[in-house]
Amino acid sequence: MLDSKMPYRLALDLGSSSLGWALIRLNAENKPSAIIKAGVRIFPDGRNPKDGSSLAVTRREARAMRRRRDRLLKRKARMITVLTELGFFPSDSLERKALESLNPYRLRAEGLDRELQPDEFARALFHLNQRRGFKSNRKTDKKDNDSGAMKQALSKLRQNLDESSCRTVGEWLFQRQCAGQSLRARYRETRQIHEDGRTRVEKSYDLYIDRTMIEAEFDTLWRSQAARNPSRYTDEARRRLKDVLLFQRPLKPVRPGRCTLLPDEERAPLALPSTQRVRIYQELNNLRVLGDSLQEYALTLQQRDQLAAALDHRPKMSFDQIRRLLRLDGQTKFNLEDIKRQEIRGNATAALLSKSDFFGEQWHSFNSSLQDEIVQHLIADEEEQALIDWLIANTGIDEACAQRLADVSLPQGYGSLGRTALARILPALRQSVLPFSAAVQAAGFEHHSALDHVQKTGEILLELPYYGEYLTRHVGFGTGNPDDVLEKRYGRIANPTVHIGLNQTRVVVNALLKRYGPPQEIIVEVARELKQSREDRLAEQKRQAENQRRNQRLREEVAAILEIEEHAVKTADIQKMILWEELSPDPADRRCPYSGEQISKHRLLSEEVEIEHILPFSETLDDSLNNKTVAMRMANRVKGNRSPWQAFGEHPIAGFDYQEILARAERMPKGKRYRFAPDGYQRWLKDDAGFLARALNDTRYLSRIAREYLRLICPQGTRVIPGQMTALLRAKFGLNDVLGLHGEKNRNDHRHHAVDACVIGVTDQGMLKKFSEAARSAREKQLDRLVEHMPLPWPTYREHVKRAINAIWVSHRPDHNYQGPMHNDTAYGLLGDGRVVHHKWLDGKRERVEKSLKVIEFKNPDVRNRSGQPRHGVTENGSPRPYKGYDGNSNYCIEIVRVENGRWQGEVISTYTAYQTVKAQGEKRLRDPKLSLSGQPLIMRLMIDDAVRLEIDDHIRTMRVAKISANGQIFMCDLHEANVDKRNRDKNELFAYVSKTAGSLHAARGRRVTISPSGELHDPGFAD
């Protein structure tokens, strides 16, 4: 352990699938003076790399399918048992098998008019049990893309039953069978070309039967048979058989997360009128009117209430509508108004339910409690008829209206507060125009910073526990059972990426605590993408793609104007074009914000125009596009190192009219224009005491969670910083060259996370003050760069970073779990000679596709025909013939074994084989440290992300397993290499995998090694 008297600072760079860290020694003055050690931990983010969806969702869907299959088989077995006990089915299995020759549709129809023999009735009822129809659940049906097609098919079937005068659906199906028509619920997709030229896929079913039809048929059939043989068809027999036929487990309710203010309560639905109103008042209390000089004014209480009343009746209001309602000038702007946002959302629930098809104006006569109760029933009730009955009894509407309400689609999801918290906060928000944080405290709740464990108890932990144990208000509900695993006992954060990230933080930090003792300070940067949902990521990817297209367009324009090749276009010129386009929507009216001189494209790309910081960089350290614009060089020199107000508003300067500057600023994006106002700098600071505090404080939700978690071990010195500052300082320190990509960050090397951590570790008030002073000096000297000489944290800082980075063994979290997809989902028919067949939908048609493919073959010896032989035939040796196959496409590991003459041989174990081994012999056999599955002596067992050391070209290299091929090839790469699969497939990339077989691995003196979460290498040495 590090000398406890030697204080150090722990820096963490937490990303969606990585954790970079650095230990920074602090000197006697509590300033950073040396880098003790740095490292990187790489782990999966819990998402499908193809579409970004949670792997937990994929597993849950597959598990649900297996459970449905298992329940079907159990129901069939129960039905056989009860029918046998009641004397309907023969007890001999072969006799029961012989009954399959009876036509169940004929029996279901004839049983309405004649007495069936016991075995005939059993055959008919068993058939009903196998195809017992769809039971509607209004909660889940709305999420089903095919629910509309189902309802149409059900409605059509009911109409056909009425028109045909058939007494039961079984009788109707028998008529179709006699007519040679289909009896199955075939799903079809038909592409339709509409008049506008667009193609739409029409979904339909040939027919669809629901559970109520099956129940009605059972009752009708039973009455018919009971009238003819009452001694056999008793009420007790009816009860038992109907229970087996119709019983269905109720859906396990999905419990919402915890209320952030009252963690013992559940969060309220977003559709709840109370939730909608709290959001409306919160937003209106934050709404500001931009008056003269772009200064902001809050709404008056009367204006706020007038607008809130209007929004409570509408789904949304545009800012133009708001201006008219409040009788404001048409040129008035709002702080929330922007080209990307032209409206404020209203009460979507009230707007929908007050339509004439539903409650109409009667909705607004209900009190708030009844409105909430109505919506709660609409969201939670599963049984449609029960919901309809409740609505009729409690609201006075007729059945037709209740039926329409049962199908209504309300906003999905949950808010962050429970119903009790909403009831307390809403009156506080209504009472005056105050921000949400003040309303929370006015309602009697403590500030969020007073809700964490350290603040409440003063206890400092010696190591990080499972986060759910102490961050109760941020996780879902757990069981509370001490015998359950931690995640189940205490609950977890639903986002898989955040969950994994916090757990890996715990693993790494606890390893460092054990080795180096507790830190004096912890500084964390949390990646923006860590908290993003799949939808957020897709939106971010779309935005990035749009930016790339925009940049390429601008690159081409600049190249044409300057008459140069596209590759010679400077990044600064592209940025100039971006900022120029933000000056005004009208290209002819794009002028210098300060002097008003018109700026053409050609003039823009000359030295007359330059990029400048609206609020001085030395006072904000904000180098984002929101703090930049383009201006005439002369005007920029006059402005100097001041804000627009300080330069042109406080003291008028000839040739510069501050009111005209504000008028030109109003055309810019909202994140930029307020900076021109007299209070622009104060509004940029928000609640921070100064620009250094702002630069050192990240207030995002996930950042607060990370801070609260790490405060458990370091309560006084933990802070989370924004990522923009890290990127800026890394470039200015010249650290992008540490991993060598000509001044650009090398994202193909995992160690860049540790470089960031080394920057994070020195990002403190003293460092930023030096940076600010250097920037001010450069501005005073009228230099074309942010700083002339970037001050370093200490003279040998760069050398320390290089040394620490070169000493890193990147730690990859290996997944040694055999539990994963055994094979792909597609089932293939077996044609023989390695040929398979399957069907797929092509252009709305089901097409047969044949191909050569090695598959895992499945056979079922328990399924036999009437003569007792295997249903699918037998092979030449008499064993049951395989009837389908699946593409394995997944390997669990490769076992390196010693064979005759001491040679090494590789035996690839598929995930399917691993499952079968555990099922037959237990997990201990799968993981036997000395014996392979084939019975050969085991040298080593390698899995994806395991570390291996071997000698290549007389050099010892430490690599990780990236891929295992079915033919026994092991593909490896150096530990620090990132994005390897994509780079290996790119023919223009110099990178390529190192491929070894068991034999060549033996020749290279290969051995499996381990790297701890804290980056410690353990090499047992080569053992021949």
Has 613 been annotated as catalytic?
Answer: yes
Q: Is the pLDDT of residue 251 over 80?
A: no
Of 661, 608, 811, 989, which Cα lies nearest the Cα of 41?
811
Mean pLDDT in residue range 901-925: 93
Q: Is the pLDDT of residue 897 over 90?
A: yes
Span 973-1016, pLDDT tens digits: 999 999 999 899 988 888 999 999 999 999 999 999 999 999 99
Under 8 Å between Cβ of 165 and 243 = no
Q: Is the pLDDT of residue 515 over 80?
A: yes
pLDDT, residue 696, reads: 52
753 marked as binding residue: yes
Q: Is the pLDDT of residue 339 over 70?
A: yes
Amino acid code (one letter) for 52: G
Catalytic residue among 127, 474, 613, 752: 613
How far from the centroid of its chain's Cα atoms is residue 917's Cα? 34
Residue 912: both structure tokens together? 């399917």
Q: What are phi and psi of 15, to 5 degrees?
A: -115, -175
Q: Is the pLDDT of residue 170 over 90?
A: yes
Where do we find the tokens 């403590």?
A: 446
Helix, strand, coil percentages in the chain from 3-state DSSP, rounded to 5? 45, 15, 40
Strand blocks (E) in 947-989 = 947-952, 955-964, 970-974
User: How far is it, in rounded angstroms, from Cα 355 to Cα 363?
Assistant: 9
Of 107, 225, 8, 18, which Cα lies nearest the Cα of 756?
18
876 marked as binding residue: no
Please count the residues of the chain: 1024
Q: What are phi and psi of 35, to 5 degrees?
A: -100, 115
Span 559-603, pLDDT tens digits: 999 999 888 888 889 999 999 999 998 998 999 999 999 999 999
The residues pairing with 835 across neighbouring beta strands, listed in sequence order, are: 832, 852
User: How far is it, in rounded angstroms, from Cα 424 to Cα 419?
Assistant: 9
13 marked as binding residue: yes
Q: Is the pLDDT of residue 223 over 60?
A: yes
pTM confidence score:
0.77
How far from the centroid of its chain's Cα atoms is residue 191's Cα? 32
Span 265-306, pLDDT tens digits: 999 999 999 999 999 999 999 999 987 777 888 999 999 999
The DSSP letter of residue 646 is I
The residues pairing with 994 across neighbouring beta strands, listed in sequence order, are: 972
329 marked as binding residue: no
Residue 335: both structure tokens together? 């702080």
Question: Can you tell me whether residue 130 is helix, strand or coil?
Answer: helix
Catalytic residue among 13, 749, 756, 764: 13
Q: Is the pLDDT of residue 362 over 90?
A: yes
Has 13 been annotated as catalytic?
Answer: yes
Strand 811-812 relative to strand 32-42: parallel, antiparallel, unpaired?
A: parallel
Q: Look at the alpha carbons of 1008, 1013, 1017, 1018 in this order and tell me if their dihedral is positive or negative.
A: negative
Q: What are phi and psi of 722, to 5 degrees?
A: -70, 150
pLDDT, residue 129, reads: 92
Mark 476-515 as b/e (b = at least 16 C-beta within 10 Å). bebeeeeeeeebebbbbbebbbbbbbbbbbbbbbbbbbee
